[in-house]
Amino acid sequence: MAKNIQAIRGMNDLLPSQSPAWQYVEGVLRQVASAYSYEEIRMPVLESTDLFKRSIGEVTDIVEKEMYTFDDRNGDSLTLRPEGTASCVRAGNEHGLLYNQTPRLWYMGPMFRHERPQKGRYRQFHQFGIEAFGMPGPDIDAEIILLSARLWKAFGIEDQVELQLNSLASNEARANYRDALREFLRAHEAELDEDSQRRLDSNVLRVLDSKSPQTQAILANAPRLSDYWDDESRDHFEGLCTRLDAAGIRYTLNERLVRGLDYYNRTVFEWVTTELGAQGTVCAGGRYDGLVEQLGGKPTPGVGFAMGIERLVLLLEAQGKIPSSRSTDLYVMAGNAEAELIVLRVAEQLRDGQIGLKVQVHSGSQALKKKLNKADKSGAEYGLVVFMDGGIETYQLKHLRDRDQADQEFTQIDAVIRAL
């Protein structure tokens, strides 16, 4: 027997039993994005490797060890996108969507990172993301946070997620803080965890979100980022907080929140939950005012977030918030041999008569009892048995979920449609 070929580790099939949950989630995401006048953009999953190196940063976890990078047949280095913002900026620059304009965009689709697969962490995963360009003020930071808060409400999980905010301030303020933090940590170098020792030179801010308790204890006395905030960034941050207060959005200031991508400045935020173990961040984002220029465009501010759809679905399932759904409403079958030839046509009439009705037609000519068994297993609300006798059609409607209701007999298809 031939050996079975299996899926790539960390890349999941989405089976028919799971797709109703995903369709529900995707539907709500689309609906809420359009309630804020955001428009969809779709980018390719493959990009030049340089795009991600130049945007996410050479010494970040993503670029150092998580990207799927390979040479194509022409010898060009390509990378399966690990996130959407860089591609979105690339597309916006390429098509002249950004400069002197204020596009509000959303995207949804697969992302790829070579990480250790575990619950809530996969090698192909899906993000829904929002990006807004050309608007420098804190009002738009507040808007995208309100949009995300509306999503939690729409899904009924507003009590399971918490908003954490921070400001990474200006590049200059952050550079000063970096120096101060490095100097402080040097004095404790030997006591730091290995990753943090390595990051001391390459990416010292990431030491702040080290998981090591010993490193965290050392950080308790470290210089604070907010002491290095420049005045404009402080005003921006306060402008954001005031607007969130006015809209009734609760948040906590987390000065250790730095994000794993280099392009952020000023506002950064995460929505976190305690319900998913270590993979607790469902949505993360912030401002990236330098990125458009860094990728070759004219200076244009930007702000956005990305949400992990797998983590969102896991959270909704854990909370029992996925509405039940049915793939078949009505199961149609022939009641006698003569009717076998017309059931497909009858089903077409039913679909014409009630748009959206999910009609499944039995395939094959088993005994009626077998067909009814399948009808029952399909989960359909109704079964319809079609009879044909000397050119005369009749219909028997069965209430499959409520056996106490008597079967109904009809001679007109219109009457069947009215009874559904």
- Coil, strand or helix at 30: helix
Mask for 232-251, x = binds ligand ATP (CB under 6 A): --------------------
Q: Which residue, among 69, 109, 74, has the nearest Cα to 88 in the 3D structure?
A: 109
Which tokens is 16 given? 């028919």
Q: Which residue, among 310, 237, 247, 248, has the nearest Cα to 279 in the 3D structure?
A: 310
Select 132 or 284, whichever has its Cβ closest to ligand ATP.
284
Minimum gap (Å) between residue 29 Cβ and ligand ATP = 13
Question: How many beta carbons lie within 10 A of that of residue 179, not counting itself?
Answer: 13
Select 85 or 360, whichever has its Cβ closest to ligand ATP.
85
Select 127 or 360, whichever has its Cβ closest to ligand ATP.
127
- Does residue 51 contact residue 81 with C-beta atoms inside 8 Å? no
Residue with tokens 């989405």: 14
Q: Which residue, among 272, 268, 281, 188, has the nearest Cα to 229 in the 3D structure?
A: 268
- Which ranges in 229-341 belong to alpha helices (H)? 231-246, 291-294, 309-318
Q: Does 127 bind ligand ATP (CB under 6 A)?
A: yes
**Bridging pattern class, strands 281-287 and 39-40:** unpaired
Count of residues touching ligand ATP (by CB under 6 A): 18
Q: Which residues contact 276 (CB under 8 A, 6 or more apart)?
A: 119, 120, 282, 311, 314, 315, 318
Select 130 or 346, whichever has its Cβ closest to ligand ATP.
130
Minimum gap (Å) between residue 79 Cβ and ligand ATP = 15
Q: What is the C-alpha to C-alpha distance for residues 131 and 145, in angstroms, rounded to an integer?
A: 12
Which tokens is 354 given? 């009630």
Q: Does 306 bind ligand ATP (CB under 6 A)?
A: yes
Q: Does 25 bind ligand ATP (CB under 6 A)?
A: no
Among 57, 138, 304, 308, binds ligand ATP (CB under 6 A): 308
Among 53, 81, 113, 206, binds ligand ATP (CB under 6 A): 113
Q: Choose the binding region for ligand ATP from 161-169, 214-222, 281-289, 347-355 (rule: CB under 6 A).
A: 281-289
Q: Does 395 bind ligand ATP (CB under 6 A)?
A: no
Select 73 or 116, whichever has its Cβ closest to ligand ATP.
116
- Does residue 353 contact residue 332 with C-beta atoms inside 8 Å? no
State which residue has the least CB distance to ligand ATP.
308
The answer to whether 24 is annotated as binding is no
The answer to whether 259 is annotated as binding is yes
Minimum gap (Å) between residue 257 Cβ and ligand ATP = 10
- Give, as one character, the DSSP assignment of residue 224: P
Which tokens is 310 given? 């797998």
Question: How many beta carbons lie within 10 A of that of residue 359, not counting itself?
Answer: 19
Q: Does 81 bind ligand ATP (CB under 6 A)?
A: no
Enumerate the β-bridge partners of residue 331.
360, 383
Residue with tokens 């779709």: 42
The answer to whether 418 is annotated as binding is no
Q: Does 282 bind ligand ATP (CB under 6 A)?
A: yes
Q: Does 311 bind ligand ATP (CB under 6 A)?
A: yes
Q: What is the C-alpha to C-alpha distance for residues 175 and 259, in angstroms, rounded to an integer?
A: 16
Enumerate the β-bridge partners of residue 334.
386
Return the residues of window 260-279 that contact ligand ATP according to CB under 6 A. Answer: 260, 279
Q: Does 145 bind ligand ATP (CB under 6 A)?
A: no
Minimum gap (Å) between residue 122 Cβ and ligand ATP = 4
> Which chain residues interact with ligand ATP by CB under 6 A?
83, 113, 115, 120-122, 125, 127, 260, 279, 281-284, 306, 308, 310-311
Which residues make up each annotated binding site for L-histidine? 83-85, 113, 127, 131, 259, 263-264
